[in-house]
């Protein structure tokens, strides 16, 4: 949280909407992580960014795309009275508290308990301001017409008003559409595995886990029962690990009584491409988690990649020996990270002159302004990333400025002078 | 309830399993209704039935098909220790409290609150008896082999143990499979309307009602909004009426705030083939309900039949004038009664020598023994009906017996004698 609060204080006094950024900073942990890397260059980077920065003037029509951590938190903190209209666009009419999603798969939490209807916050905003200027549209953003400043949206639910795309005009637009599960191009993932990113995914996993146990009770051979009761999680990141642990507890505490005939045959496995699970965390945590899984009988299939998924088995390759083998499953959950949504890719390609080549994230300034968006586009969350300044030229110019006596070295006195200058800026 | 308790006391001392029948009697209101008609002939009817009645000896393998009011209640009251094994077979692994289903469509009740997992009652039974002889199988009964006494079942969920049918042998079998929604052969019903008989139906209706409001918020013309917010219920029986009333309250109390832009355009209509709704109830109740709906702005389209359902409209015919007109809808709920399941029809046709021609219900004795089932088959609930005894010959023989002096008339004294005799029997 140190980096986060540092960032916050740094943004005070900058001509962007404080409420919104304050909230973004809180909400987006990954933004904080990127920040960690550029923190030491903060003062210097301002040279680059500040020159291109147009302070954001509230007013006009604000459109927010997405109802996740980015979009929802932004709307919650936003002073909507400063805008002519505020429109939240999302195919999902509620905010989902994703960290508790794994617990819904085993019934520890009810779906209703981990969502917040968007209509509630919209009503609150309109009541507070006395204006009816805030609204929500249950449609999916498909494409931006940057010249005409129109967002084209499609109703992707079963009941549609029309077959045409809906045109939503904007003055300022915040892209907070998140990301989608990453299949890594592995065949069979879409057909035979479950993602765990939305409420419907959690419901379906719950249904299928119980179905596996019910079906095992009707199976005639122990071999088939063992196959049906093998729950395979692909990916040892936070989602996969959390789900595997919840499922194991559920089997131990609930299933073992209700399905006493077959519960002892159940097993949970995690397939992980690295040596340990949670390998983006501190090495000690990562090792501890792996050891703990061993103690509680969750098998970690280490250093292995899934090459293909079949109707009821994954084909796994050992990354060292390159040997392949089939692992049968009853239910397979695919938690192998995220990939950009088509909307994000489309926007990146529209802005290709200002965005890095083959980018997977909408690159922004540290003030979350989309590079190439002409001050009208902002992006936050899983679809966005702060562009790192080009460090080498900056470092060279800083060094030149610091080396007052031009002896090719920076003495402590020289360092003190340049440090003070940077702080002042 | 008078007829019910009378029936109960009458069954005391008969050699059938008391617990089960006691429970059946409580559970099955429709059985009570049929009973009302034959009650006055109860004593006489015993002449016919008792002669064919083999007292049911517990023991052997009991199979119960169905987890609704009939099957679940039977298992709950059954002394399972008296059987070698008791197997409950049903594609639905919970008991559903159907009277509260309409309230789930609007969120007044949560799905979890109106179900009772079968595993719970199975565990309880096994714990109580100390035997592990009671089990549940999540499969759908497809066909009975009456000669070999085997019930063939299919796993109709997504995870299957095998593609073969499962063979479940029985000594005694209770058919409590219920019924399915009746489309009346109207084209488009399966494609474009919602039934309200299972939990998934209620969930889908809820989703689509809210989707209609969300979509109406994106519609550009008032005309289209009005179409989207027209909720049409086909059938003015208890299910349709209950749902229409719940939905109207939901719109009035919740929707009107959350969807303030469009809520005033919403309307609920009930299409009914008779003059009043609830027309199987007492005429005063039926009239009152119809008037009440008028007062609370639910339109009852009287004396009308649905001839066809299109993607977003029903084609309705006025039964008097024969004129047809289209009624557009956002969501249409089909609550036009029930029809026999394929399993029931198959069994009736197998027993055609003993069952009435073109029957829609498995006809049973008043002791719920299936006619033609050779004492091994029993049936309860929506799939079954007690066969009415042939009254004329019975009445004639009773009259002959009563007319002691053979003068062709029954005096009060003669009536007293025969009445006392019947009571004694």
* Helix H or strand E segment including A141: strand A140-145
Rounded to an integer, what distance in angstroms lies between the CA atom of residue A409 and that of residue B201? 77
- Tell me what pLDDT residue A56 has: 58
What residues in A contact B210, CB-CB < 8 Å? Answer: 93
Topology given in CATH for the domain delimited by A189-336? FAD/NAD(P)-binding domain (3.50.50)
Among all residues of chain B, which has the CA nearest to that of A154?
A: B218
More confident residue, B415 or A69: A69
3-state secondary structure of A8: helix
Q: Are B114 and B101 in contact (CB under 8 A)?
A: yes
Topology given in CATH for the domain delimited by A61-181+339-386? FAD/NAD(P)-binding domain (3.50.50)
Say which residues have a Cβ less than 8 Å from residue A342's Cβ, sequence separation at least 6. Answer: none
| Contact across the interface for B161 and A228, Cβ inside 8 Å | yes
pLDDT in tens, B131-163: 999 999 999 999 999 999 999 999 999 999 999
| DSSP character string of A203-252 | HHHHHHHHHHHHHHHH-SSHHHHHHHTEEEEE--SHHHHHHHHHHHHHII
* Mean pLDDT of the region A231-260: 96
Q: What CA dihedral angle connects B349, B355, B360 and B365, to 10 degrees?
A: -130
pLDDT at residue B35 tops 70: no
Of A370-379, A413-422, B331-340, least confident by mean pLDDT is A413-422
pLDDT at residue B42 tops 60: no
* Mean pLDDT of the region A112-129: 95
* Mean pLDDT of the region B59-66: 94
3-state secondary structure of A140: strand
Terminal CA-CA length for chain A: 24
The mean of the pLDDT values for chain A is: 86
Rounded to an integer, what distance in angstroms lies between the CA atom of residue A404 and that of residue B422? 124
pLDDT bucket at A316, cuts 50 / 70 / 90:
very high
Rounded to an integer, what distance in angstroms lies between the CA atom of residue B115 and that of residue A354? 57
- Tell me what pLDDT residue B31 has: 33
- The answer for B 257-286 residues in CB contact with A (under 8 A) is 257-261
Q: Of A110, A211, A219, which has the smallest distance from its Cβ to B110's Cβ?
A: A110
pLDDT at residue A55 tops 70: no
| Contact across the interface for A211 and B119, Cβ inside 8 Å | no
- Tell me what pLDDT residue A385 has: 93
* Contact with chain B for residue A208, Cβ under 8 A: yes
* Mean pLDDT of the region B279-305: 96
Rounded to an integer, what distance in angstroms lies between the CA atom of residue A293 and that of residue A246? 12
* Helix H or strand E segment including B378: strand B377-379
- Tell me what pLDDT residue B141 has: 98
| Contact across the interface for A161 and B258, Cβ inside 8 Å | no
* Mean pLDDT of the region B102-123: 94
Please report, for chain B, how many H helices and E strands are present, in that order: 16, 21
- Tell me what pLDDT residue A49 has: 42
* Mean pLDDT of the region B195-201: 97
Of A413-417, B201-205, B249-253, least confident by mean pLDDT is A413-417
* Contact with chain A for residue B211, Cβ under 8 A: yes
**CA nearest neighbour of A7 among A44, A40, A32, A37:** A32
The mean of the pLDDT values for chain B is: 86
Of A274-283, B21-30, B240-249, B305-314, least confident by mean pLDDT is B21-30
Tell me the CA distances in angstroms from A85 to A60, A74, A91, A136, one per residue in order: 7, 15, 20, 11
Q: What is the token pair recorded at A282?
A: 């501190």
Q: Are B314 and B232 in contact (CB under 8 A)?
A: yes
Work out the minimum CA distance from A260 to partner chain B, whole angstroms: 9
pLDDT bucket at B288, cuts 50 / 70 / 90:
very high
Task: Find the length of chain B.
Answer: 425
**CA nearest neighbour of B89 among B184, B187, B170:** B170
pLDDT at residue B22 tops 90: no
- Tell me what pLDDT residue A398 has: 80
The structural domains of chain A, with segments of one domain joined by +, span: 61-181+339-386, 189-336
What residues in B contact A224, CB-CB < 8 Å? Answer: 161-162
More confident residue, A358 or B23: A358
Q: Are A175 and A379 in contact (CB under 8 A)?
A: yes
pLDDT in tens, B310-355: 999 999 999 999 999 999 999 999 999 999 999 999 999 999 999 9
* Mean pLDDT of the region A116-125: 96
* Contact with chain B for residue A110, Cβ under 8 A: yes
- Tell me what pLDDT residue B391 has: 64
Residue B378: strand pairing partners: B174, B369
Terminal CA-CA length for chain B: 24
Of B188-202, B223-237, B410-424, least confident by mean pLDDT is B410-424
**CA nearest neighbour of A91 among B207, B214, B221:** B214
Q: Are B21 and B12 in contact (CB under 8 A)?
A: no
* Mean pLDDT of the region A11-24: 37
pLDDT in tens, A130-176: 999 999 999 999 999 999 999 999 999 999 999 999 999 999 999 99
Among all residues of chain B, which has the CA nearest to that of A257?
A: B123
| Contact across the interface for A228 and B159, Cβ inside 8 Å | yes
pLDDT at residue B3 tops 70: no
* Helix H or strand E segment including B95: strand B94-96
* Mean pLDDT of the region A104-119: 94
Q: What is the side-by-side order of every strand in the sheet holding A134-137?
A: A134-137, A85-89, A61-65, A172-175, A377-379
Q: What is the token pair recorded at B257?
A: 């705030």
Question: What ipTM was estimated for this complex?
Answer: 0.81
- Tell me what pLDDT residue B27 has: 36
* Contact with chain A for residue B217, Cβ under 8 A: yes
More confident residue, B239 or A55: B239
The Cβ of residue A350 has, within 10 Å, a number of other Cβ atoms equal to 14
| Contact across the interface for A120 and B155, Cβ inside 8 Å | no
Rounded to an integer, what distance in angstroms lies between the CA atom of residue A166 and that of residue A145? 13
- Tell me what pLDDT residue B170 has: 97
* Mean pLDDT of the region A82-95: 96
Rounded to an integer, what distance in angstroms lies between the CA atom of residue A266 and that of residue A231? 8
């Amino acid at each position: 949280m140190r980096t986060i609060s540092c960032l916050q204080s740094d943004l005070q006094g900058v001509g962007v909407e404080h409420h919104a950024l304050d909230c973004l900073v809180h909400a987006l942990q990954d933004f904080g992580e990127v920040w960690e890397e550029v923190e030491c260059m903060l003062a210097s980077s301002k040279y680059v960014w500040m020159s291109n920065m147009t302070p954001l003037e509230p007013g006009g029509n604000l459109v927010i795309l997405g109802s996740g951590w980015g979009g929802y938190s932004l709307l919650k903190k936003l002073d909507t009275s400063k805008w002519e209209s505020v429109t939240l666009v999302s195919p999902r009419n509620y905010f989902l508290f994703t960290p508790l999603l794994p617990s819904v798969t085993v019934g520890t939490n009810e779906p209703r308990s981990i969502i917040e209807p968007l209509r509630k916050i919209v009503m609150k905003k309109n009541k507070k301001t006395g204006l009816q200027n805030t609204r929500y549209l249950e449609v999916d953003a498909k494409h931006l017409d940057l010249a005409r400043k129109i967002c084209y949206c499609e109703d992707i639910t079963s009941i549609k008003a029309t077959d045409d795309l809906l045109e939503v005009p904007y003055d300022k637009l915040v892209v907070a559409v998140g990301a989608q599960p990453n299949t890594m191009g592995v065949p069979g993932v879409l057909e035979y595995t479950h993602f765990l990113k939305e409420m419907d995914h959690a419901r379906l996993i719950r249904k299928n886990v119980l179905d596996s146990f019910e079906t095992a009770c009707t199976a005639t051979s122990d071999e088939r029962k063992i196959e049906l009761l093998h729950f395979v999680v692909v990916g040892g990141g936070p989602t996969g690990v959390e789900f595997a642990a919840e499922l194991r507890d559920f089997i131990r505490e609930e299933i073992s009584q209700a399905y006493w005939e077959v519960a002892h045959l159940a097993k949970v496995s995690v397939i992980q491409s690295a040596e340990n699970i949670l390998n983006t965390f501190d090495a000690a945590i990562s090792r501890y988690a792996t050891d703990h899984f061993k103690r509680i009988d969750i098998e970690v299939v280490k250093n292995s990649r899934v090459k293909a998924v079949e109707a009821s088995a994954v084909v796994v390759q050992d990354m060292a020996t390159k040997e392949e083998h089939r692992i049968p499953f009853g239910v397979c959950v695919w938690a192998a990270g995220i990939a950009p949504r088509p909307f994000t890719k489309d926007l990146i390609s529209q802005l290709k002159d200002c965005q890095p080549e083959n980018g997977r994230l909408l690159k922004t300034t540290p003030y979350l302004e989309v590079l190439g968006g002409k001050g009208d586009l902002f992006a936050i969350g899983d679809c966005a990333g702060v562009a790192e300044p080009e460090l080498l030229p900056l470092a060279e110019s800083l060094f030149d400025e610091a080396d007052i006596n031009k002896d090719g070295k920076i003495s402590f006195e020289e360092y003190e002078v340049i440090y003070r200058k940077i702080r002042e800026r």
